[in-house]
Structure 1
């Protein structure tokens, strides 16, 4: 049990686990066995729930390890998560939806099968919006549908490639004549390579997905929004769109391009009831997977700056920023690049 008589659970923060005399010993035992983390690497994620380590490890730390830690910390019994207290201001951040915020609206969300895109699609649906969920992976989209089976809204899935015009046309057709908002979230990472190491293949693919895909889909939905006289587009940029020391050359260029795409469109359509903004995440617990081979030169150069990340966010925390800008709550915000990065951009 924790020092405040609450059980250690998967929702308890990593920091609380490490600071607890029994829980800390258990976590350090797991860390001592090697694998995805050591204690120093957990410093930026102390405020995240222990459960988030499963996603952060990208498969190296299985769910069974977290479950075993919870069992061992509670004498072999799984405690009720509700005992932690959903409204406890001292615990980890917990998502609180705004019922009806997207009622009557159709929102297109790309990258909807995983990570930030999935969290965004889920939140829009749970707040009453009709979602056109787009991703390459049909099976993962079906899993999203299953998870939202109890939500009384329409959820349309489109398995397609946002870099292919035919698939972009299918996405717009699936919206059936109404598109109130678009969240351009689909993205891929590069291999941290500096310019002299960046291959044509890496450059072409990263630019295509991160920038050209957002351009093509935005271009396709804007006539629908213009006809309606309203609309909101939110692009996902990155800390790499604000600085040069956050990622490799291709990814950095692509995200700087997203910032330019956002600002130009915000200016061009400002008088037509259409708002265009971007969110610039820093570290994300369910971040974009890296390629198998990462540049040693680029990684060595970037490492000191990436070590300065003050905190790592969950996908749900990023979805909170994105859905705010998508919604009418952001009625007076246009052309903004919202740094949702735990303060990394002000360091």
Structure 2
């Protein structure tokens, strides 16, 4: 396990699910972790879970749809701690598998604004500092929905394809500056994404359909015939943040129980 003592990490959407698992793993290996998100009650739970960690966790109220808030999150971390070593862009919401015809303008805008625009805002803000430092690690949370056409609804699929493209471009462009940019593409993972999305989207939220409506879907689609856990994803994220991943950039690591390998 890597030692992140003294490292400064910012995690958007670090309150629950994959974000929470990543925050806890980083804190347990000595990192100072700043969560940027909008679910303050869930962030409090995460901070409580990290109370015995060798590192520390704090929360900054941040809506990634607001560029000023994202800039304040990143710039504030640098002002307080002197640098930013890692950024994990995990903030995301789901579209309930809404088809093209069933996707409203409002739903489309919300999904793109959180999943893609918010990821871009955070990457841009972090890169301003990382390129000056000549060091940085960025990991974006994409999805198998960013690699295939029929894993999710249309707006989520478009947003995650955008995250994959963003990752590949930034990873190549800023490699010369000592910054790596990679992504993870989770498959079916046990997280509260649907509940959180309904809460965040409010009146724009669609019916959150999910895996389980067809009991045969999972064993038919995923060779491992089970859902993954948040820790299955956070393990790869933490590896990509470590110095063991120095020669990896612009890559999208698929963690899906074999789904897309079939």
Class of the TM-score when normalised by the shorter of the 2 chains: 0.7 to 0.9
Residue pairs, 1:162-201, within 5 angstroms: 162-175=64-77, 176=79, 177-201=82-106
- The 8 Å contact of residues 156 and 174 in structure 1, kept in 2 or not, is answered as no
Residue pairs, 1:92-241, within 5 angstroms: 98=1, 101-175=3-77, 176=79, 177-241=82-146
1:32-71 CA distance string (max 9 Å, x none): xxxxxxxxxxxxxxxxxxxxxxxxxxxxxxxxxxxxxxxx
- The 8 Å contact of residues 183 and 252 in structure 2, kept in 1 or not, is answered as yes
Which position in structure 2 is the counterpart of 1:319? 234
- 221-230 or 174-183: bigger deviation: 174-183
Matched, 1:269 2:174: yes
Q: Which has the higher contact order (CA 8 A, sep 6+)?
A: 2
Q: How many angstroms does 1:317 deviate by?
A: 1.3
Q: How many angstroms does 1:132 deviate by?
A: 0.8
How large is the Cα RMSD of the aligned pairs?
2.2
Q: Which has the larger radius of gyration?
A: 1
Unpaired runs of at least 5, structure 1:
1-97
TM-score (structure 1 length as normaliser): 0.67
Which position in structure 2 is the counterpart of 1:26? none
1:173-213 CA distance string (max 9 Å, x none): 33133111100011110021221221101100001111000
- The 8 Å contact of residues 189 and 228 in structure 2, kept in 1 or not, is answered as yes
Which position in structure 1 is the counterpart of 2:245? 330
Which position in structure 2 is the counterpart of 1:81? none
Unpaired runs of at least 5, structure 2:
199-204
Distance in 2, matches of 1:264 and 1:293, equals: 32
Distance in 2, matches of 1:150 and 1:305, equals: 37
Distance 1:305 1:137, change over 3 A: closer
Q: How many angstroms does 1:346 deviate by?
A: 0.7
Distance 1:332 1:161, change over 3 A: same
- The 8 Å contact of residues 16 and 192 in structure 2, kept in 1 or not, is answered as no
Distance in 1, matches of 2:25 and 2:235, equals: 8
Q: How many angstroms does 1:293 deviate by?
A: 4.2
- The 8 Å contact of residues 246 and 306 in structure 1, kept in 2 or not, is answered as no
Residue pairs, 1:277-316, within 5 angstroms: 277-289=182-194, 291=198, 293-294=206-207, 307-310=220-223, 311-316=226-231
Q: How many angstroms does 1:294 deviate by?
A: 3.4
Q: How many angstroms does 1:155 deviate by?
A: 2.1
